[in-house]
Amino acid sequence: METTATLKRDIKVLVFDQYGTVVDMQSGLTEIAAPFLKEKGWDGEAHRFVTWWRRTHFENSMIDALCDRGHTPYREIGHRAVSHVLDRSGIAYSADEVAWLVAEIEKLKPFQDVIEALQKLRDGGYRLAILSNGDRDMLEAAKPYIGFQFDATISVQEAGYFKPHWKTYAKAEEILAEERTSILFVANHAFDCIGAKSFGMRTAFIDRRKRPFGQEPQQPDLIVANFKELADALS
């Protein structure tokens, strides 16, 4: 793990994952899904339903990238994932209901510590960008709900693969016109940090859930509990 002094010297751009890192995906989707599931008469826990949804989506997006048959939109992967979980749960549903649930991702709000920390980082001279698995239009629709203007918002559609495929980080490097070693990639997900580090970026792991990163060879350069700690460390 590098010293914060080294990172402060070398880093010019911070690139953030959006879903689950900038915006609170688990809590936000649980709040949305709970009344829907109750109305359907499902007596399970809404947060578990959302966890199944997210895990199924992740699995399907990894299959999509590995099959290398052309990039499937995030929204379409989402529709498949939600339909699958509803089927597993024995819940009757319509295509419109599935589309509505997935569209709610666009309205997710940032974690409470995010905006103030981002402003502090910007005041410190860093450029700030998003690199997300979301579709271009979904990321555009999300901007008013996040309430912060990033210097760049990059969809993996530009690369044609889902993260953590190396081409997604390479496309971000190209668009941002910075050397990969001058980029700090920030994520709440170990897989995303591993992908970025494998490509040669520096990485910061936001350990909100207080879980071990794992014994991966691509360890993050910085581990913090939240965005405030990140901004404090780099200021």
Q: What is the pLDDT of residues 114-163, one digit of tens each?
A: 999 999 999 999 999 999 999 999 999 999 999 999 999 999 999 999 99
Q: Which of 107, 140, 164 is the last residue of a domain?
A: 107
Q: Are residues 119 and 215 in the same domain?
A: yes
Q: Are residues 136 and 227 in the same domain?
A: yes
Cα 75 to Cα 59: distance, rounded to the nearest angstrom: 14
In terms of C-beta density within 10 A (0-12 exposed, 13-18 middle, 19 or more buried), how is residue 21 classed?
A: buried
Q: Are residues 29 and 75 in the same domain?
A: yes
Q: Are residues 18 and 116 in the same domain?
A: yes
The CATH number for 60's domain is 1.10.150.240
Q: Are residues 165 and 61 in the same domain?
A: no
Q: Give me 123's structure tokens.
A: 């005041």
Mean pLDDT score, 24-41: 97
Beta strands in 136-210 (DSSP E): 152-155, 183-187, 202-206
Q: Are residues 144 and 188 in the same domain?
A: yes
User: Closest by alpha carbon to 227, among 168, 162, 148?
Assistant: 148
Q: Are residues 129 and 173 in the same domain?
A: yes
Q: What is the pLDDT of residues 192-228, one digit of tens each?
A: 999 999 999 999 999 998 888 989 999 999 999 999 9
Q: What is the pLDDT of residues 56-94, one digit of tens each?
A: 999 999 999 999 999 999 999 999 999 999 999 999 999
User: Closest by alpha carbon to 16, among 147, 161, 129, 138?
Assistant: 129
Q: Are residues 142 and 66 in the same domain?
A: no
What are the CA-CA distances from residue 180 to residues 94, 156, 197, 200, 201 (Å)? 44, 17, 9, 6, 5
The CATH number for 218's domain is 3.40.50.1000
CA angle 221, 226, 228 (to 5 degrees): 100
Count how many domains the chain has: 2
The DSSP string of 148-159 is ---SEEEEGGGT
Q: Are residues 143 and 31 in the same domain?
A: no
Q: Are residues 166 and 131 in the same domain?
A: yes
Range of the domain at 207: 4-24+108-234
Q: Are residues 36 and 82 in the same domain?
A: yes
Indicate the pTM of the whole model: 0.95
Cα 201 to Cα 181: distance, rounded to the nearest angstrom: 5
Q: Are residues 151 and 218 in the same domain?
A: yes
Instruction: Return the sign of the alpha-carbon dihedral for residues 166, 186, 144, 174.
Output: negative
